Amino acid sequence: MHSTNTDNPIDFPPYYAMFTDAGNAMIHGIVEGAREKNLTWPEVYAILHSLSQVNGFTEATDTAVRECVYSALGFETPFYI
C-alpha cells in the first residue's frame, strides 16, 4: 500500500499509487485535509473525482489510488458508492 511516515524523507511523499511524486503529494494533502475535517468517504471520493478532471491527475479515481486513500483514512463504510 503506502507509507504515511512523513518523518522519513525517503518515504515522502507517501505512496498513493499516483503516477508521479506530485500526484502522491496532492493526494496526501487531500488525505490530511480529510482527516482534519473528518470527511466521509463520499466526500473524499468527490474530491478525488474533481482532481481526476485536472490534467496530470487523471488517475486520482483509479481503483488503486482510491484503495490507498480509503485505507489511509481508516474508512469502514462501503468502498463502492
pLDDT in tens, 49-80: 999 999 999 999 999 999 999 999 999 999 99
Q: Which pairs count as long-range contacts for 18-23, CB under 8 Å and 24+ apart, including other chains?
A: 18/57, 18/59, 18/60, 18/65, 19/59, 20/56, 22/56, 23/56, 23/57, 23/59, 23/60
Taking residues 28-47, report their average pLDDT: 98
5 pLDDT exceeds 90?
A: no
Other CB atoms closer than 10 Å to residue 9's CB: what's the count?
A: 7
Question: pTM, whole model, 2 decimals?
Answer: 0.84
18 pLDDT exceeds 90?
A: yes
Distance of CA 2 to the CA centre of its chain: 10
Task: Specify the pLDDT at position 12.
Answer: 64
Q: pLDDT exceeding 90 applies to what percent of the chain?
A: 81
